[in-house]
Chains A and B, each alone.
Chain A
């Protein structure tokens, strides 16, 4: 069985349906009598709704029902809940209506919903809904939010929270006494997540049970159920079933509970027909939560020997027009707690002003706060090295947390459990042939090209999250994960997990854990997820948490099933329970040749003719809830080598090396794929991608014609390496790998690019136009004090 267990590159079970066109994504489901919804969205970034006239639309062919904010208010339904405000301080947290009745606050805000027999008819009629707006001045720029027209009365100066972490006084004192202080202004560009499957929902209402079924594109169906039932509808959760079948990518954008999901469910009741909505791509750009959008000033203080003394970070974080489901989480605790990077920095102070603007709400996007932190740390470290004339590698080595210092308590709340950052750096440098770079650079110069090398020694906190920590910082949920394991009489196993894949391959990796622990063949293991009527409870998949938390819950079930099986085996083989051993799928009696396979033991437990019922129940079924003891801390070093054509400003990535520490690895093939995807995500942010709003709050990059997505020719193959230190506090020793590439890559690219063209800084995305301009203007020198 070892070729199917932990550590094997098993081909994915789920692929069989995906490669043959037999996946089941939300939009693939249709039910008899189903109607379609189309939304009337605000074309203005900020405007009062004077009136809505649906008369003409209502007489269009096929129209069944038109709903507006007035209908929503008349039904006394709740607003869209926000599950996280830092430190549970809701003073300036504005509400979000599902359908807007009074004032729209971003282009794409929902004004009306048309339900018609076909999607074309619904879209045609939506065009005929006449909305009279009184247009107000809009603002999309987070840096100008405090003086811009007010979005919500609840948030004076458009401020949700002026938040702080760390020791401000100690940091200021350390900076005042530092031999060198290096400063940098950083813009972390707004991204659109762009899962290739657009969001979709299908709502069905059963008037007899007064119950809803909602098929929807969600990374966390149970959270969606909780929010829809308890916060919006005010009905028991038993009256709501959420089914998220195959999900075509998420990257954070399918975490939030969206107004469209609530509206489709509600409309199924109001219109008395099942209602489906599938987003057009432009709707995705306008309304899928965006990521990043920080404006930051950072100061790093160093002593005369280049030792870090203090880091001070001031960030304005754009939250968009409303607080999304996880509101300010990405901009606060998932960001500031990572500002120590891989380094000993005695004092850190981080202030984040979370502000509202007339833009799409911001929430988690692959990495969620951690890419922003890694970019700040690795850009200021590299900039300090260059300003002070110290080799960047050497400066990092001087300041790394050393293996003997673990567990290491940072000044920003986290306690890193384990790592060996210098070993990672050594391995990465070897793999990238850093010693041969000078020769390669000389060769580029001969061809009139400019070559650069950039490092990014990142860290992240994954395995979200210990529930007590989540509670202490203001989250409205715990963050354990659940698993249920059911055995059939013949020994096949079904595992119900609260994690929910959107491409991560859980049906394979989770089955590998079970196969490894119980010796059951992969074909006899089914992983079941994504349906609240089948799965007991789950917090879902994001934050690279599924293997470390959801996988650990499954491992605990396996251990408990073995313990229970030992009781049955002891009874069957007339031995003492203490003498029973389990290995390779067999229970044996120590010192004898007696043995029973797991399947035999399960079968016997299902036929309890001669069974001590007072001591045990039939079957070996288990349920467990794993609450992590700490976060996990994947870390790594990515090295980008690129060439710039000075005549065009075009950037060509010529080599990429990634050496990562993910702890134990269950399926190396899948982990490689996660790094590939993550890196390209991060390179996309660095060179191509930006969700741009103009001065009127109109999004000018709302289609694939305008938003530059990474394509297959963006970069060459990635050289991968692993320097793993197993996580000491979860049963699998795993850390998580889904976001690493997106966290590491942007700083590696910009460090390489600034190295190549000899400027101190350049904003992302570093498009050819920006690079070309930087080459001609040079960058204003910002020398160290």
Chain B
């Protein structure tokens, strides 16, 4: 067993875990933050994307011990002071989700994508950068639309 400590959504979190514990399992089982999902076991689906030190990471690809001391943001920590993040709002406004299972990972990946590309984020880039996130409901069209709308909105606000 190893003790890990990290900041999760602005709060200190710690736990005694087996060394082999994946970060996603620590978040879901130990911290009971169940918004981060697990949809596969080959790091393909992207339902588990969170932010580790400001970067989008599939939390099933790293061990919790590797995130020791890191600054973690999950879908539960994205809204600030009760206000939805523009990407969250855009997903709802553009019907970018149906069953909602892939949505947390999609949103976390999209936030990172917009932060890297800014206002010049175009449809082709969005479609290509979403290669690590699977959705079976939406056919992706409204997800792409939502990310474009959010990029536009965030550029205007900046």
Interface residues of B in 63-103 (CB under 8 A from A): 74-76, 78-79, 84, 88-89, 91-93, 95, 97-103
CA of A247 to CA of B99, assembled, Å:
7
Contact residue range for chain B? 35 or more
CA of A479 to CA of B103, assembled, Å:
32
Pair A19/B97 contact, Cβ less than 8 Å: yes
Binary interface encoding of chain A residues 167-200 relative to chain B, with 1 for a CB under 8 A from any of its CBs, else 0 = 0000000000000000000000000001111100
Q: Which of B95, B102, B107, B134 contacts A669 (CB 8 A)?
A: B95
CA of A280 to CA of B22, assembled, Å:
14
CA of A130 to CA of B18, assembled, Å:
26
In the complex, chain B residues whose CB is within 8 Å of the CB of A248: 37, 39, 99-102
| Among B18, B35, B98, B107, residue most surrounded by chain A Cβ atoms (within 10 Å) | B98
B109 to chain A, nearest CB (A): 11
In the complex, chain B residues whose CB is within 8 Å of the CB of A197: 37, 39, 99, 101
In the complex, chain B residues whose CB is within 8 Å of the CB of A704: 40, 42, 44-45, 134
CA of A713 to CA of B134, assembled, Å:
11
Interface stretch, picked from B51-59, B114-122, B124-132, is: B124-132
In the complex, chain B residues whose CB is within 8 Å of the CB of A194: 136
**By DSSP majority rule, is chain B's interface helix, strand, loop, or mixed?**
loop
Q: Which of A21, A672, A679, A713 contacts B128 (CB 8 A)?
A: A713
Interface stretch, picked from A9-17, A99-107, A450-458, is: A9-17
In the complex, chain A residues whose CB is within 8 Å of the CB of B89: 19
**By DSSP majority rule, is chain A's interface helix, strand, loop, or mixed?**
loop
A540 to chain B, nearest CB (A): 15
CA of A196 to CA of B101, assembled, Å:
7
Pair A679/B139 contact, Cβ less than 8 Å: yes
In the complex, chain B residues whose CB is within 8 Å of the CB of A210: none
B87's nearest neighbour on chain A, judged by CB, is A19
Interface flag for A573 (CB, 8 Å): no
Pair B45/A196 contact, Cβ less than 8 Å: yes
Pair A196/B34 contact, Cβ less than 8 Å: no
In the complex, chain B residues whose CB is within 8 Å of the CB of A714: 140
A710 to chain B, nearest CB (A): 8
Binary interface encoding of chain A residues 14-31 relative to chain B, with 1 for a CB under 8 A from any of its CBs, else 0 = 111111111101011010
CA of A669 to CA of B47, assembled, Å:
24
A467 to chain B, nearest CB (A): 29
Pair B137/A18 contact, Cβ less than 8 Å: no
B141's nearest neighbour on chain A, judged by CB, is A676
Interface flag for B20 (CB, 8 Å): yes
Pair B41/A281 contact, Cβ less than 8 Å: yes
In the complex, chain A residues whose CB is within 8 Å of the CB of B4: none
| Among A27, A281, A703, residue most surrounded by chain B Cβ atoms (within 10 Å) | A281
Are A20 and B88 also in contact (CB < 8 A) when A503-B137, A680-B139 are? Answer: yes
In the complex, chain A residues whose CB is within 8 Å of the CB of B100: 14-15, 17-19, 23, 246, 248, 503
Interface flag for A165 (CB, 8 Å): no
Pair A705/B44 contact, Cβ less than 8 Å: yes
In the complex, chain A residues whose CB is within 8 Å of the CB of B126: 712
Interface flag for A89 (CB, 8 Å): no
Pair B88/A198 contact, Cβ less than 8 Å: no
Interface flag for B135 (CB, 8 Å): yes
Pair B134/A677 contact, Cβ less than 8 Å: no
Pair A677/B98 contact, Cβ less than 8 Å: yes
Interface flag for B138 (CB, 8 Å): yes
CA of A16 to CA of B34, assembled, Å:
15
A499 to chain B, nearest CB (A): 15
In the complex, chain B residues whose CB is within 8 Å of the CB of A246: 99-100
CA of A194 to CA of B136, assembled, Å:
7
Are A676 and B142 also in contact (CB < 8 A) when A18-B97, A19-B97, A705-B42 are? Answer: yes
In the complex, chain B residues whose CB is within 8 Å of the CB of A81: none
Pair B107/A19 contact, Cβ less than 8 Å: yes
CA of A503 to CA of B91, assembled, Å:
14
In the complex, chain A residues whose CB is within 8 Å of the CB of B133: 712
Interface residues of A in 228-248 (CB under 8 A from B): 246-248
In the complex, chain A residues whose CB is within 8 Å of the CB of B98: 249, 503-505, 673, 677
In the complex, chain B residues whose CB is within 8 Å of the CB of A198: 38-40
Pair A196/B136 contact, Cβ less than 8 Å: yes
Q: Which of B74, B99, B128, B134 contacts A502 (CB 8 A)?
A: B99
Can you list 24 A-B pairs with a CB-CB distance of less than 8 A? A19-B84, A19-B92, A20-B78, A20-B79, A21-B34, A21-B74, A22-B76, A30-B32, A195-B101, A196-B102, A197-B99, A248-B100, A281-B42, A503-B137, A505-B98, A670-B95, A673-B98, A676-B139, A681-B139, A703-B42, A712-B126, A712-B130, A712-B140, A713-B128
